[in-house]
């Protein structure tokens, strides 16, 4: 079980120039986490790449708190592009233009006063391929927390994060060993632990199990079920069965448009749109 | 366009099997009714022995649907067809069992093939036969409208059953020595009434299969 023992208040914002304001609503407190609105409220978001290709068109979607939302769709439908836009990762791709709003605690994360580093701490990302730092298992957790201003008990943070990722029992006796010596599935759980160590509110996951074997996939799917009691999880997956197994809500994107967004059970049993039906039943895509 | 030839093939096979079950169960009921009317006990016996074929068809439907669920992971309308196939096949298997019960009862009504009460049983069986045929057609053509109209026929079966109860009670009051025969009439009538209910349930499965909504056609 998850042991969320570490207080968010142990994070102290690192020194920033006075000219860079800190998002007021991004100071996490328990009350923030208990409010009723969506975890992320995306409004009319469009994303255009430098070559003029519009990858996402006018996306409006409210992600419910502490639940798993799967984004599905054929290759090139814009799902990964959309996911990266939720925590401003697309800004790292030169020439990418994002319009619309991504409201987090009512604040547009694209607002001029918002620090993208803070956004990415509060809205974490786990990628398709495990990408641990070439450091020890311990440092993989500690490093990110340290540079983000963690002042609490580091050993405690490392343990609780690894426990959250269901990895503690497997690595507790080898924390000083290189993370690169872990198996692929363990590395991916380490990356999840690393994201959890920053105490995000939302975890974005871009096909986090596509490079893993069935057993490792199963462990991570089970893990998501536990993590959603603490975090809001938005996962992009090509695996329709996985979306059906793990998610509470599912969004279907097709050629940059949101076609259908519904409770997963409904979408997989009685989809409303013919295109959804054809895609999830494997008749195109 | 992705090819789902195998899944389409399995769905088609399930359609065929449900159709075959419906035809065989319907034929069993027709034969049981004829056996009762003509006192042809040999025919009644054939209904009983033929039931194994219908049971085997149900097992085949379940096997194909189970393997398809495990290997093809159908969703949406494909999934609903699988769910409906399990239920409709079970309803036809049960319907065939009631046909066997009717056949077994044939010899109990020896000597009175034209009695009013036996004629009522015959009317119920004929209505059931129409429901069985209509349900299979609704399943094959994916028609919730036909399913609803077939299910509506159950009211007539229920009315015949209710009238049977009233008449048998009168008979028992007037001729207490015929209690055993009266009990058999009521039991058989009850089987035929339940058969109509099974077809109504199968019609509800057809509506779910096509529309994805659950309806109560028994109201």
Helix (H, G, I), strand (E, B) or coil at A84: helix
Query: Across the interface, which of A240, A244, A281 has its CB nearest the CB of B78?
Result: A281
Q: Side by side, which strands form the sheet with A97-104? A: A54-63, A40-48, A97-104, A107-108
Question: What pLDDT, on the 0 to 100 scale, is given for residue A159?
Answer: 97
Question: What pLDDT, on the 0 to 100 scale, is given for residue B108?
Answer: 80
Q: Tokens 């956004």 identify what position?
A: A119
Asked whether the beta carbons of residue A281 and residue B212 sit closer than 8 angstroms, the reply is: no
Question: What pLDDT, on the 0 to 100 scale, is given for residue A201?
Answer: 96
In this complex, is the C-beta atom of A270 within 8 Å of any C-beta atom belonging to chain B?
yes
Show residues of chain B in contact with A271, CB under 8 Å.
76
Task: Please count the residue pairs, one from chain A and one from chain B, whose beta carbons lie less than 8 angstroms apart.
Answer: 38
From the CB of residue A111, how many other CB atoms can be counted at a distance below 10 Å? 13
Asked whether the beta carbons of residue A283 and residue B75 sit closer than 8 angstroms, the reply is: no
Alpha-helical regions (H) of A165-273: 168-171, 184-197, 214-227, 240-246, 264-269
Query: Across the interface, which of B4, B211, B212 has its CB nearest the CB of A283?
Result: B4
Asked whether the beta carbons of residue B74 and residue A241 sit closer than 8 angstroms, the reply is: no
Task: Give the gap in angstroms from C-alpha B79 to the nearest C-alpha of chain A.
Answer: 7
Both tokens assigned to B51: 């039931």
Task: Give the gap in angstroms from C-alpha A278 to the nearest C-alpha of chain B.
Answer: 9
- C-alpha–C-alpha distance, residues B83 and B76, integer Å: 11
Mutate to test the interface with A, among B10, B76, B79 (most CBs of A within 10 A): B76
Question: What pLDDT, on the 0 to 100 scale, is given for residue B165?
Answer: 96
Parallel, antiparallel or unpaired: strands A68-72 and A232-236: parallel
pLDDT in tens, B134-169: 999 999 999 999 999 999 999 999 999 999 999 999
The two counts, helices (H) then strands (E), for chain A are 11, 10
Selection from A144, A132, A126 nearest residue A14 by Cα: A144
Question: What pLDDT, on the 0 to 100 scale, is given for residue A28?
Answer: 45
Q: Tokens 């609803």 identify what position?
A: B148
Both tokens assigned to A41: 């409220």
Mutate to test the interface with B, among A244, A247, A269 (most CBs of B within 10 A): A269
- C-alpha–C-alpha distance, residues A187 and A167, integer Å: 9
Show residues of chain A in contact with B75, CB under 8 Å.
240, 244, 268-269, 280-281
The two counts, helices (H) then strands (E), for chain B are 7, 0
Show residues of chain A in contact with B215, CB under 8 Å.
none
Question: What pLDDT, on the 0 to 100 scale, is given for residue B3?
Answer: 57
Task: Give the gap in angstroms from C-alpha B194 to the nearest C-alpha of chain A.
Answer: 30
- C-alpha–C-alpha distance, residues B153 and B137, integer Å: 15
How large is the C-alpha radius of gyration of chain B? 19
Query: Across the interface, which of A241, A281, A285 has its CB nearest the CB of B76?
Result: A281
Selection from A94, A61, A93 nearest residue A79 by Cα: A61
% pLDDT > 70, chain B: 96
**Least-confidence region, from A218-222, B3-7, B78-82, B193-197:** B3-7
Question: What pLDDT, on the 0 to 100 scale, is given for residue B115?
Answer: 83
Asked whether the beta carbons of residue A270 and residue B213 sit closer than 8 angstroms, the reply is: yes
Q: Where are the beta strands (DSSP E) in chain A?
A: 40-48, 54-63, 68-72, 97-104, 107-108, 123-126, 202-206, 232-236, 249-254, 257-263
- C-alpha–C-alpha distance, residues A43 and A191, integer Å: 29
Question: What pLDDT, on the 0 to 100 scale, is given for residue A24?
Answer: 44
Question: What pLDDT, on the 0 to 100 scale, is given for residue A10?
Answer: 59
Task: Please state the rounded mean pLDDT for residues B1-24.
Answer: 88
- Distances B196 to A157, B92, B207, B211 between C-alpha atoms, Å: 65, 11, 17, 22
Question: What pLDDT, on the 0 to 100 scale, is given for residue A27?
Answer: 44
Q: How far is CA A87 from the centre of its chain?
A: 9
Show residues of chain B in contact with A244, CB under 8 Å.
75
Nearest CA in chain A to B70: A241
Burial of A46 (0-12, 13-18, 19+ CB in 10 A): middle
Q: Tokens 């978001």 identify what position?
A: A45
Show residues of chain A in contact with B80, CB under 8 Å.
269-270
Question: What pLDDT, on the 0 to 100 scale, is given for residue A34?
Answer: 52
Asked whether the beta carbons of residue B76 and residue A271 sit closer than 8 angstroms, the reply is: yes
Interacting residues of B142 by C-beta distance below 8 A, sequence separation 6+: B206, B209, B210
One digit per residue, pLDDT tens: chain A, 285 residues?
444 444 444 565 444 333 333 444 444 444 444 567 899 999 999 999 999 999 999 999 999 999 999 999 999 999 999 999 999 999 889 999 999 999 999 999 999 999 999 999 999 999 999 999 999 999 999 999 999 888 999 999 999 999 999 999 999 999 999 999 999 999 999 999 999 999 999 999 999 999 889 998 998 999 999 999 999 999 999 999 999 999 999 999 999 999 999 999 999 999 999 999 999 998 876
Show residues of chain B in contact with A285, CB under 8 Å.
2
> What's the 3-state SS for B157-199?
HHHHHHHHHHHHHHHHHHCHHHHHHHHHHHHHHHHHHHHHHHH
Question: What pLDDT, on the 0 to 100 scale, is given for residue A35?
Answer: 60
């Amino acid at each position: 079980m998850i042991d969320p023992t570490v207080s968010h208040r142990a994070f102290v914002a690192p020194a920033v120039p006075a000219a860079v304001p800190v998002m007021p609503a991004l100071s996490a407190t328990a009350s923030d986490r208990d409010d009723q609105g969506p975890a992320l409220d995306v409004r009319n978001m469009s994303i255009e790449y430098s070559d003029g290709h519009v990858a996402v068109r006018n996306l409006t979607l409210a992600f419910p708190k502490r639940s798993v939302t799967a984004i599905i769709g054929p290759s090139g439908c814009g799902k990964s592009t959309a996911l990266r836009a939720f925590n401003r990762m697309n800004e790292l791709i030169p020439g990418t233009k994002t319009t619309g709003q991504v409201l987090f605690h009512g604040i547009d994360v694209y607002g001029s006063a918002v620090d993208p580093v803070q956004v990415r701490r509060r809205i974490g990302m786990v990628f398709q391929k495990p990408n641990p730092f070439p450091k020890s298992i311990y440092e993989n957790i500690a490093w990110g927390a340290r540079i983000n201003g963690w002042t609490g008990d580091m050993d405690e943070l490392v343990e609780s994060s690894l426990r959250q990722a269901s990895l503690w029992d497997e690595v507790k006796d080898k924390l000083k060993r290189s993370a690169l010596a872990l198996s692929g599935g363990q590395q991916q759980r380490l990356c999840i632990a690393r994201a959890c160590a920053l105490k995000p509110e939302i975890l974005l996951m871009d096909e986090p199990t596509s490079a893993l074997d069935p057993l490792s996939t199963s462990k991570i799917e089970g893990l998501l079920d536990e993590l959603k009691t603490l975090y809001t999880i938005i996962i992009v997956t090509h695996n329709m069965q996985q979306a059906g197994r793990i998610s509470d809500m599912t969004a279907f994107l097709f050629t940059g448009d949101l076609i259908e967004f519904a409770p997963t059970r409904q979408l997989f049993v009685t989809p409303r749109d013919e295109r959804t039906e054809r895609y999830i039943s494997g008749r195109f895509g | 366009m992705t090819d789902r030839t195998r899944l389409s093939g399995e769905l088609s096979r399930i359609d065929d099997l449900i159709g075959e079950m419906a035809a065989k169960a319907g034929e069993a009921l027709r034969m049981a009714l004829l056996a009762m009317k003509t006192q042809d006990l040999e025919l009644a016996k054939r209904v009983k022995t033929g039931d194994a074929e219908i049971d085997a068809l149900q097992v085949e439907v379940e096997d194909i649907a189970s393997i398809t669920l495990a290997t093809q992971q159908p969703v949406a309308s494909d999934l609903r067809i699988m769910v409906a196939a399990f239920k409709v096949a079970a309803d036809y298997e049960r319907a065939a069992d009631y046909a066997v019960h009717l056949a077994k009862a044939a010899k109990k009504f020896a000597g009175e093939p034209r009695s009013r009460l036996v004629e009522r049983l015959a009317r119920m069986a004929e209505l059931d036969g129409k429901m069985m045929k209509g349900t299979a057609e609704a399943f094959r053509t994916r028609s919730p409208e036909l399913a609803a109209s077939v299910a509506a026929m159950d009211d007539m079966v229920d009315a015949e059953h209710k009238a049977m109860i009233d008449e048998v009670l009168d008979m028992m009051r007037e001729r207490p020595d015929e209690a055993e025969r009266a009990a058999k009439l009521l039991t058989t009538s009850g089987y035929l009434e339940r058969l109509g209910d099974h077809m109504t349930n199968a019609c509800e499965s057809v509506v779910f299969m096509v529309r994805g909504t659950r309806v109560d056609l028994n109201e």
